[in-house]
Amino acid sequence: MTNEDLVADILRLKQERHAVILAHSYQRPEIQDIADFVGDSLALARAAQQAACDVIVFCGVHFMAETACILNPSRRVLLPDLQAACSLEASCPAEELAAFLEANREKNYYVVAYVNCSIGVKALADVIVTSGNSQRIIETAPADRPILFVPDQNLGAWTARKTGREMTLWNGACHVHQRFTRDQVLAAKQAHPEAEVVCHPECQELIRLLADHICSTEKMIAYCRESAARQFIIVTETGILHRLRKLVPDKEFFPVELGVCGCAECEYMKLNTLEKLRNCLRDLAPEVRVPEELRLRAAKPLERMLELSK
Ligand code: 13P
Ligand code: SF4
């Protein structure tokens, strides 16, 4: 079956199922092209909350589909491949966070959780952030409580520096962003001396220090469009390059070469394919479901975030 046949099937099934397809910017180009909405974690959470349909097909990773279930419980949420996990989510098991909070009860931490975490971690958090709104949310955190930021130490450290707010950081990281080395970014700069370096805050500080601009995937589009530069080295998962080239066609975008590893790809994001997307619309499975008691607890900090980042 060709991609054209699959696309025709998907469009027909989407109508029959009264479904919307939401896709993260790290998805394969052919999935981004067929989606009703492509965005970063923040924009996708908003889109999921507002989706007026029977079925949400979430082309992203598991925690994103779970977030859609939490925010819009009356919809059926499908994930084309249930194995689409996230190393950041895995770096902070809910039981470990609960044990840490119990052992440090006297500190009365204000728990800020990056959206890349499980529903169990969200349920333990006071507020959720994304890479697109972490500064804004931290600025609203109570001044009289110490902050515990989970699970991404890099986003946490960057947000702490930007806001001047001290935080205890969980020792988690994304394996894709952790892979970039200083030498690789310097080699990209040497190959494209006119290019600006734009990097995601999930990158380590030694990489962030080489960047002209640091922001979430969504903000990269506006930044590159408005910058006077004509060329950009993009230091994040390569899926965003498709979107940048499509939306800012008069400029050039380069990934960072990682030697024998090629470029930075999230193997979990790439698990979703057109065929699996067609199959899940056809079979209405795999479906992501969450226990109602946990959903209610996780909804509070998520809704707080959406309210604060309006
Ligand atoms: P944003 O979509 O918020 O930029 O986050 C990137 C990411 O790694 C999502 O998994
Ligand atoms: Fe998780 Fe990193 Fe993949 Fe994003 S790129 S889904 S943070 S493993």
> Under 8 Å CB-to-CB from 70, ≥6 apart: which residues?
119, 122, 290, 295, 298, 299, 302
Model pLDDT for residues 290-309, shown as the tens digit of each residue: 999 999 999 999 999 999 98
Residue 4's pLDDT band (cuts 50, 70, 90):
very high
Mean pLDDT score of the chain: 96
pLDDT at 260 over 80: no
Confidence (pLDDT) at 263: 84
Residues in CB range of 90: below 8 A, 6 or more apart = none
Spatial separation of the C-alpha atoms in residues 251 and 228, rounded to whole Å? 10
DSSP 8-state code for residue 195:
P
Q: Residues 171-200: what's their mean pLDDT?
A: 97
> Does ligand 2 come within 6 angstroms of the Cβ of 266?
yes
Tell me: cis bond preceding 142? Omega within 30 of 0 counts.
no
In this structure, the residue with its CA closest to atom 10 of ligand 1 is 116
Mutate which of 44, 62, 130, 131 for ligand 1? The one with the most ligand atoms within 8 Å of its CB, which is 131
Which is the closest atom of ligand 1 to the Cα of 217?
Answer: 4
> Is the CB of residue 121 less than 8 Å from the CB of residue 97?
yes
Q: Could you read off the pLDDT of 218-255 as tens digits, one per residue? A: 999 999 999 999 999 999 999 999 999 999 999 999 99
pLDDT digits (tens, 9 = 90+) for 150-162: 999 999 999 999 9
pLDDT at residue 261 greater than cutoff 80: no
Angle at 174 between CA 289 and CA 36, to 5 degrees: 50
CA of 61 to the centre of ligand 2 (A): 8
The atom number, within ligand 2, closest to the CA of 86 reads: 1
Confidence of residue 99 (pLDDT cuts 50, 70, 90): very high
Q: How confident is the model at residue 135 (pLDDT cuts 50, 70, 90)?
A: very high
Query: Please, what are the domains in the chain?
Result: 3-85+269-290 (3.40.50.10800), 88-174 (3.40.50.10800), 181-261 (3.40.50.10800)
The per-residue pLDDT for 158 is 98
What token pair was written down for 122? 């969200």
Does 9 sit in the ligand 1 pocket, CB within 6 Å? no
CA-nearest residue, atom 9 of ligand 1: 41
Average pLDDT over residues 24-50: 95
Using pLDDT thresholds of 50, 70 and 90, give the confidence band for residue 258: confident
User: pLDDT, tens digit, for every residue of 103-127?
Assistant: 999 999 999 999 999 999 999 999 9
Residue 37 confidence (pLDDT) above 90: yes
Distance of alpha carbon 36 from alpha carbon 27, whole angstroms: 13
Query: Is pLDDT above 90 for 80?
Result: yes
> Ligand 1 centre and the CA of 64: distance in Å?
10
pLDDT of residue 104: 98
Q: Give the pLDDT mean for 174-189.
A: 96
Above 90 in pLDDT, residue 262?
no
pLDDT at 1: 85
Q: Residue 131: CB within 6 Å of ligand 1?
A: yes
Is ligand 2 within 6 A of the CB of residue 61? yes
Ligand 2 pocket member 268 (CB < 6 A): yes
Q: Judge if the beta carbon of residue 87 lies within 6 A of ligand 2.
A: yes
Does the C-beta of 64 come closer than 6 Å to ligand 2?
A: no
| Any atom of ligand 1 within 6 Å of the Cβ of 41 | yes
Helix (H) or strand (E) holding 113: strand 110-114
174 lines ligand 2 (CB under 6 A): yes
From the CA of 200, the nearest ligand is 1
For ligand 1, is residue 134 a contact (CB within 6 Å)?
Answer: no
Is the beta carbon of 130 within 6 A of some atom in ligand 1?
A: yes
| Residue of the CA atom closest to atom 4 of ligand 2 | 86
Residue that has been written with the tokens 């394996």 in this structure: 175
From 216, 243, 269, give the residue whose CB has the most ligand 1 atoms within 8 Å, as the site to mutate.
Answer: 216
Query: What pLDDT does residue 193 have?
Result: 98
